[in-house]
Amino acid sequence: MKKYNFSAGPAILPAPVLEKSAQAVSNWNDSGLSLLEISHRSKPFVEVLNKAESLATELLGVPEGYKVLFLTGGASSQFFMSAMNLLNPEDLAVYIDTGAWSTKAIKEAKLFGQIEVLASSKDTNYNYIPKTYDVPQNAKYLHYTSNNTIFGTQFKEEPSSNCPLISDMSSDIFSRPVDVSRHGMIYAGAQKNMGPAGTTLVIIREDLLGKVSRTIPTMLNYQTHIAKDSSFNTPPVFPIFVSMLTMEWVKENGGVEKMATINEQKAAVVYDEIDRNPLFKGTAAKEDRSLMNATFVLENESLGEKFMEDATAAGCVGLKGHRSVGGFRASIYNAMTMEGVETLRDVMKAFEQKHA
Amino acid sequence: MKKYNFSAGPAILPAPVLEKSAQAVSNWNDSGLSLLEISHRSKPFVEVLNKAESLATELLGVPEGYKVLFLTGGASSQFFMSAMNLLNPEDLAVYIDTGAWSTKAIKEAKLFGQIEVLASSKDTNYNYIPKTYDVPQNAKYLHYTSNNTIFGTQFKEEPSSNCPLISDMSSDIFSRPVDVSRHGMIYAGAQKNMGPAGTTLVIIREDLLGKVSRTIPTMLNYQTHIAKDSSFNTPPVFPIFVSMLTMEWVKENGGVEKMATINEQKAAVVYDEIDRNPLFKGTAAKEDRSLMNATFVLENESLGEKFMEDATAAGCVGLKGHRSVGGFRASIYNAMTMEGVETLRDVMKAFEQKHA
């Protein structure tokens, strides 16, 4: 049976990407060798890495003066590396707290600089995006989590700020256009819209680096990876390869502008049904609803197991909500098809017929 | 044409491992989903992670009191993480310098403690393993690189020491038995004998942790990953899966004792030919020759390109030596077959016939 994978991450990848990836593991480019067993310094893999870098640059319109890196350690490592590389102990950085991932970023940054939380939606279990705050003149950067996977909220616009922005875009990178020039840094774990788990995209404005006084271990210094084009040591070959294929797929399918249009259409199918269907209700403030993760609950919670059974029977998997919100979460990243969201909508409609 | 992959790393993996890995990328366990798109917290992947941990424990005989972790960032990240987690600034640790990787480990450790280089073979371009040194009574640990990929040398015995050993076993893990109990820590990048690039095995004695005064970012603290069984954040799902399959293959083929026997036989085929054939000579001291990486040069260097052509024509690839040694390097990890080393030997013999 055809499966529709609504998992929050690691998440659905485009079918042609999976097909090419499997082929590369067996026998890459008819070389008689697997992609897994070739040197990361061989010409064919250096070309993969260069292509991944140039695709990210092209898709997001990364301006001159920035470097695109493919690192490891997930966004969780960027929580501390960003502050470690950009803040002296006396420097101020400001953060908007929109959920679990923001909270972790704030915790780690506090080890390296003066951190002020500008605004937080913690008071209402993070069901909205705070929009009013004053950014201090001396802030080195403003950090925000562009999409909140757990709570189903998303910044519709970049925060207003005179200082450079830093954004954790792990769950909506490549899902819509972004003004990179307003950012000092963008980072994203691959395992939602970019590829499989195992690599982390970092886009960094180079002139911000080299200004802190602390000694940074070689592997934690962005300048190390910039100087060596993400190959100071062996990079995660396969995760980078699959990410390259996924970016290629985004380009072939119209780029991030087209992705944004389709993502809006797909999200409308799900949210319209949530709003129409008397059995369900959304958990996030309407104006801040995420186009990537639609969170919703049943008015009658006791029907939860029955709904999951019906969804599973229709091939819809990965719908269980995060424990801190409960209910359901439909993650509808770039690779989720309109057919998938329509199938989910039909399951919700049929469920209404049975239980209304 | 059949290829024999002598690359130093990322390196050859067993054929059945590659086959199962490709299948899992297409459709894992007939689930209708790719391994790349399932949650790292789903039961099937948690089972993979647990199996990887238990296979490593079983194959190496890891005693009670140790934890097996699968991290990211390569051995290069362990160079500083080991010292950061185990040394206070005034603590002494001692290192044996046997090549480029030891040198990097020493450089990073100096950021966190008092580091003494006990012995070094730098004077002869690292072509032997130093064997005489006195370990100071107050050393917290002795660090050594068990196999030196670039220079083709290998410790035949663990160094004698009263303090715990720490070993970078990136290029000979699972190739022979090891007395884990003498080690405070063992680490290994996956991409030689364990799997594809993208994960790093760490085996650590838990009672050594929690004794340093510095604040450690969450992701850099071994205790974080111990508490969360390598899943504090999203682990590198695919590299861990392939590593699990490779360890399974080692077990099915007789374990590390049997690997050691076969590796000795394979290495003998290559080294016997190097010693017999008047056109070639080995670069490493005979008693310290690596069973994993056989380094050799031509007596007449100008024949180098011709030899590479003949080797390539016979399907032998990845033989170019590292620039700091020159000549050739045959990496003959666990997955290299006897057929592969015999093919290389035959190329060397035929080359003698043509050019002697």
SS3 sequence of chain B: CCCEECCCCCCCCCHHHHHHHHHHHHCHHHCCCCHHHCCCCCHHHHHHHHHHHHHHHHHHCCCCCEEEEEECCHHHHHHHHHHHHHCCCCCEEEEEECCHHHHHHHHHHCCCCEEEEEEECHHHCCCCCCCCCCCCCCEEEEEEECEECCCCEECCCCCCCCCCEEEECCCCCCCCCCCHHHEEEEEEECCCCCCCCCCEEEEEEHHHCCCCCCCCCHHHCHHHHHHCCCCCCCCCHHHHHHHHHHHHHHHHCCHHHHHHHHHHHHHHHHHHHHHHCCCEEECCCHHHECCCEEEEEECCHHHHHHHHHHHHHCCEECCECCCCCCCEEEECCCCCCHHHHHHHHHHHHHHHHHHC
Chain B, 11-30: which have a CB under 8 Å from a chain A CB?
11-13, 18-19, 21-23, 25-26
The residues of chain B that CATH labels 3.90.1150.10 are 255-355
pLDDT digits (tens, 9 = 90+) for B284-313: 999 999 999 999 999 999 999 999 999 999
Q: Per-residue pLDDT for A1 more than 90?
A: no
CB atoms within 10 A of CB A195: 30
pLDDT digits (tens, 9 = 90+) for B169-207: 999 999 999 999 999 999 999 999 999 999 999 999 999
pLDDT digits (tens, 9 = 90+) for B44-63: 999 999 999 999 999 999 99
Chain B, 202-221: which have a CB under 8 Å from a chain A CB?
215, 217-220
Active-site annotation holds for B192: yes
For domain B255-355, give the CATH superfamily: Aspartate Aminotransferase, domain 1 (3.90.1150.10)
Q: Tell me, what amino acid is at B32?
A: G
Between CA B223 and CA B204 the distance in angstroms is 10
Q: Which residues, in sequence order, are CB contacts of B218 under 8 Å at separation 6+?
A: A76, A79, A80, A104, A107, A108, B224, B232
Chain B, 130-169: which have a CB under 8 Å from a chain A CB?
none
Q: Which of B2, B19, B72 to mutate to test the interface with A (most CBs of A within 10 A)?
A: B72
Chain B nearest C-alpha distance from A103 (Å): 13
Identify the pLDDT of residue A322: 95
Q: Which of A6, A7, A13, A39 to mutate to test the interface with B (most CBs of B within 10 A)?
A: A39
**Residue B8 dihedral angles phi and psi, to the nearest 5°:** -75, -25
- Of B159, B186, B183, B171, the closest CA to residue B56 belongs to B186
Q: What is the spatial order of strands in the sheet that B114-120 belongs to?
A: B66-71, B200-205, B183-189, B165-168, B139-145, B92-97, B114-120
Q: Tell me, what amino acid is at A242?
A: V
Between CA B268 and CA B289 the distance in angstroms is 10
Between CA A161 and CA B58 the distance in angstroms is 55
- Of A160, A161, A142, the closest CA to residue A94 belongs to A142
Q: Per-residue pLDDT for A356 more than 90?
A: no
A36 closest CB neighbour out of B3, B32, B196: B196
Q: Once rounded to an integer, what is the mean pLDDT over residues B112-121?
A: 98
pLDDT digits (tens, 9 = 90+) for A217-260: 999 999 999 999 999 999 999 999 999 999 999 999 999 999 99
The position carrying tokens 């077990």 is B251
Q: Is A104 within 8 Å of B7 when comparing Cβ atoms?
A: no
Q: Per-residue pLDDT for A292 more than 90?
A: yes
Q: Is B318 within 8 Å of A39 when comparing Cβ atoms?
A: yes
For A254-355, which CATH class?
Answer: alpha beta
Q: Point out the residues of A that are catalytic.
A: 101, 168, 192
The residues of chain A that CATH labels 3.40.640.10 are 15-252
CA angle in degrees (0–180, nearest 5) for A171-A174-A179:
105
- Characterize the bridge pairing of strands B183-189 and B165-168: parallel
Chain B nearest C-alpha distance from A284 (Å): 23
Flag whether residue A113 sits within 8 Å of chain B, measured between CB atoms: no
Flag whether residue B104 sits within 8 Å of chain A, measured between CB atoms: yes
Contacts of B22 in chain A (CB under 8 A): 22-23, 25-26
- Of B101, B79, B62, the closest CA to residue B183 belongs to B62
Q: What is the DSSP string of A100-113?
A: HHHHHHHHHHTTTS
Asked if residue B83 lies in contact with residue B105, where contact means CB atoms within 8 angstroms, the answer is: no
Identify the pLDDT of residue A213: 96
Chain B nearest C-alpha distance from A355 (Å): 29
- pTM (predicted TM-score): 0.98
Between CA B340 and CA A33 the distance in angstroms is 14
The residues of chain A that CATH labels 3.90.1150.10 are 254-355
A196 closest CB neighbour out of B11, B36, B195: B36
Chain B, 79-98: which have a CB under 8 Å from a chain A CB?
79-80, 84
Which CATH number describes the domain made up of A15-252? 3.40.640.10
Chain A, 328-347: which have a CB under 8 Å from a chain B CB?
none
Residue tagged active-site, from B97, B140, B172, B192 = B192
